[in-house]
Structure 1
Amino acid sequence: METLLVSLMPYIIGSAVVPLQIIICLLLLKSPKQGLFKAIAYVAGMTIARLLQGLIFGLIFSEAATSGETGNDKNLVISTLLLVLGILLLIAAYKKWHGHDDPDDPPPKWLTTLDNSTPLKAFGIGVGLPLIAPKLWVFTLSALATIAAAQLGQASSAVVFLLFILLAQSLLLLPILIRILLPQKSKSLLNGISAWLTKNNRSIVIVVSLVFGLLFLKSGISGLL
């Protein structure tokens, strides 16, 4: 179990540090009306989307893992996913470097309607973001393939995937907890973090995409060879 969690850490970190999802959460928290409830609904929506991905693709990968595939076949699936993820991340770094839009960015109207959105709309944004972001898809699919390859059984695999979701969303849950525990002091802190992330979003995406892109590309090629 511990070894599996170590293997999942690159996917967990990669999923957690996507700046846009954190910026959306902070903007929702800053909303003058029901900001806290909007942020909670947003994270709940992301959780539901990832649970649905886990339910569908977890079963597919589990069936493949128990259908007589050899270890080489399992490694081939994981290595291919790593290779695809590495390429996607490097493409994202290249596009950001040249000032192009990130394919994981949601439609602009999402960001302009955050202040006026309801908790239900925030929930919808949370559901939609993991489903339209290619990199988040591959992070989740790679994690599911790694869990399935370990063949821990359905119960243990479900627990590990729930841990993956919790840790992948830790940087969304943290500001919500800060807002709950420190309702007054948190405002200036969260405003500062939001402003910093918005200002440095491009640089963060480039660095994160480049580092993880090279890491996953190397792992994928090594696995295929």
Structure 2
Amino acid sequence: MATQRKQRVDAFRAGIQVGDREDADSTLFRVLFGIPAQIQIELALEITRRFLPVFRKNHPEHTAAVAWAESVLGDLGAYYDARGVEVSDPPEKDAGGDASFWYALYALLDAVSYAKQGKLHRVTPACCTALIWAVGARSANIWYADDPDAVQAWNDGHGEPLLGRGEHENLACLAVTKREWLIVADWLEQRQVGDYPEADEDERERWLAWWQERECLL
């Protein structure tokens, strides 16, 4: 018989397949809560790294921001040991997905910090936040490339031209988002995360509510 955690891994994949993002986020939180912090961080790190080649391409001049992102993602533990949660300034020239990518990096550093402090209940919110923003970076990058007029309207504060053309309605963005979350589902299955024992339900639900009250932010 499948464990409850394994059932949640399956439910997470099913939610992604039908585009049920809100329930998928809470299901992912329940999947990750209570497994070793290092495994949660490895997942968030791997998914965040997927945007780094895009980030480099967006900034071919190899700015200080690119070098900083490379140092964080190249050896997250070593970076934290040397500089803690210090965050560099983002690129001067904003490209699609930059802001989301930057927040994912911030969340990753927070996750490592909580793990080092033994605050394991805070690791899951940080890792889930990093995952959401890393996937969001891929979606935003596609939107900027696929419909620059809608992006410009959004940046200019003109809501009317965006009807039916927002990032979360763009078919290319939706396809990329689904692809990235299915990669997360594959990772969970390959690492047999469903085999870990259940966490304390009351504690898990308390921290899930805490995270949701902050709209999945830190």
Q: Could you say which TM-score interval applies, normalised by the shorter chain?
A: 0.3 to 0.5
TM-score, with normalisation over the residues of structure 1? 0.35
Which structure has greater helix proportion?
1
